[in-house]
Structure 1
């Protein structure tokens, strides 16, 4: 079973505004609403890839029913702790004329200690042997930044695999517990090492260091420039695919879903990166935080494979 953790979900409101201009009145030509939060996004993609998952985390306020209804409509199992505060709403402004995407993200609700403890109990119940636990996104107020480290430790003690997608101190503390796989982007990796990482060789060097400290698989996303996949026995690099970009939100989450898909389908390292790149490319073509489908991903596999190469780094 796959369990996705979303501690700070958000209702994503996407506004299409041509020639978005600061300091003036802007009129939206189109809008859409999507339930989101990185773990929930992963569950949405997995469902479209034919993989069942269970979404857990916190939900509260007026939008809670929106989330639960949409998850039910999608056939995604869920077990969220109801909180007293309001789940956040994020605004995404897409300006196709100027090719810009602007995110306005709320901080999220404050979580009470008793709400956190209730979640921990639910989490423990779901950390069964050989389950895959996806831990991703930010955290709301009231929760310590060592929470992901705690969750990884709990999962590993129960024989579950953990996949991490986080940044900042959450990321730094969590990787100390050696999750099975991580999916940072180059910005998150740069923050971890406090240096700008743009060169492929430097990114590989840092990823190898993480891998040697106990993280088995590191998928580094580079946006339009591609991705790098470092494992204990092979390294692969992929060029970015040139596609029409309608929204970058959820692209990284689709790549996390690709890691899960590869594990469950025993894909090779090369095929894992090929599939991840295809997932990312198909996602950025979609509006809002809609999830890519398996057919959409398959349409990119051939060109994605041609852009993947093995890297000889002396390991």
Structure 2
């Protein structure tokens, strides 16, 4: 079973506004709503790849029924904890005219000690041997920064593999429990290691430092420049693909879903990176935070080149 954890989901509201300007009245060309949050985004992509998963985390307030209805419509299993607070709304402003994309993300509801305890107990019961657990995204107020370390230990104690996609203290605390893979972007990785990278060689050396501390694999997304995949013995690089950009939200989540797909389908390291690059490119070509399709990814795969470095 694949389990995705979203501790601070959001209703993603995407506004298309040509020539968007701050401080003046802007006219919205179109609007769409998508249930979101990094773990949920991973589950949406996996569903399109014919991989079953189960979503968990916290939802509440005016959006709770919308989330559950949409997940059931997509036939994605979910066991969210209902909270007293309101699930947040994140607003994305897409200015196609100027190729500018703006995210306005809310902090999210406060999670009480009791709500967190209920979730942790459910998570303990949910994890089993050989499960793949995806821990991704930020957390709502009231949740301690070592939460991903706590959840990683629980999952590993139950025999599960953990993929961690977080930033800042959530990442630095989480890697102390040695997840199977981490997936920072280059800026998040610089923050983790407290250094600036001049080139890919510097990033690879940084990844090896993390691997030496017990993390098995490091996948670093480089935005339009592609991605690096580093294991204990090898490192691979793939250039990014040039595609029409409709939304930058969810590209990293698609790469995580690609890694899960690769594990389940027995892909080798180079194939996993190729698939990850194609998934990321397919994602940014899709409006809002809608999940990319397997057909789109397979078409883009033909253009991806991977080299050992």
Q: Distance in 2 between matches of 1:266 and 1:85?
A: 41
In structure 2, the partner of 1:286 is: 286
Describe the SS at the equivalent of 2:79.
strand
CA–CA distance in structure 1, aligned partners of residues 246 and 156 of structure 2: 38
**Structure 1 length-normalised TM:** 0.97
Q: Is the 8 A contact 1:186 1:198 kept in 2?
A: no
1:308 to 278, 285, 306: 306
1:240 match: secondary structure: coil
Question: Does residue 267 of the first structure (1) align with residue 267 of the second (2)?
Answer: yes
List alignment gaps of at least 5 residues for structure 1. none
How far apart are residue 14 of structure 1 and its match?
0.1
Q: Which runs of 5+ in 2 are unaligned?
A: none
> Contact between 1:13 and 1:92, CA under 8 Å: does it hold in 2?
yes
Size of the aligned set, in residue pairs, is: 309
Match of residue 13 from structure 1: 13
Q: Residues of 2 paired with 1:241 and 1:196: CA distance?
A: 25
Q: Distance in 2 between matches of 1:112 and 1:83?
A: 8
**Partner of residue 64, structure 1:** 64
Deviation sequence 1:122-168 (CA, Å, 0-9, x none): 10011111100000000000110000000001111111000000000
Is the partner of 1:22 in helix, strand or coil? coil
* Structure 2 residue 40 is the aligned partner of structure 1 residue 47: no
> Contact 1:187/1:197 (CA < 8 Å) preserved in 2?
no
Which runs of structure 2 are paired with 1:121-140 in the superposition (5 Å)? 121-140=121-140
Report the equivalent of 1:78: 78
For 1:105 and 1:7, how far apart are their aligned partners in 2?
Answer: 15
- Distance in 1, matches of 2:41 and 2:198, equals 27
Root-mean-square deviation over aligned CA pairs: 0.7
Helix, strand or coil: the match of 1:27? Answer: coil
Distance 1:302 1:236 in 2: 18
Structure 1 counterpart SS, 2:72: helix
Offset of residue 198 of structure 1: 4.7
Q: What's 1:256 paired with?
A: 256
> Structure 1 residues 91 and 175, CA, compared in 2 at 3 Å: closer, same or farther?
same
- Using the TM superposition, give the Cα deviation of residue 213 of structure 1 relative to its aligned residue in structure 2, in angstroms: 1.4
Distance 1:125 1:187 in 2: 35
Matches within 5 A, 1:1-315: 1-304=1-304, 307-311=305-309
Query: 1: CA distance between counterparts of 2:198 and 2:92?
Result: 27
Q: Work out the CA distance in 2 between the residues paired with 1:242 and 1:184.
A: 21
Shift of the alpha carbon at 1:70? 0.2
Q: Deviations over 1:287-309 (max 9, x none)?
A: 100000100100011111xx211
CA distance in 2, matches of 1:253, 1:198: 26
Segment drifting more, 186-195 vs 243-252: 186-195
| Rounded Cα–Cα distance in structure 2 between residues aligned with 1:122 and 1:84 | 18
Q: Residues of 1 paired with 2:187 and 2:110: CA distance?
A: 27
SS in 1 for 2:128: coil
Q: What is the CA–CA distance in structure 1 between the aligned matches of 2:197 and 2:70, rounded to whole Å? A: 39
Contact 1:11 1:36 in 2 (8 A): yes
Are the equivalent residues in 2 in contact too, given 1:183–1:219 (CA < 8 A)? yes
Distance of 1:79 and 1:121 partners within structure 2: 12
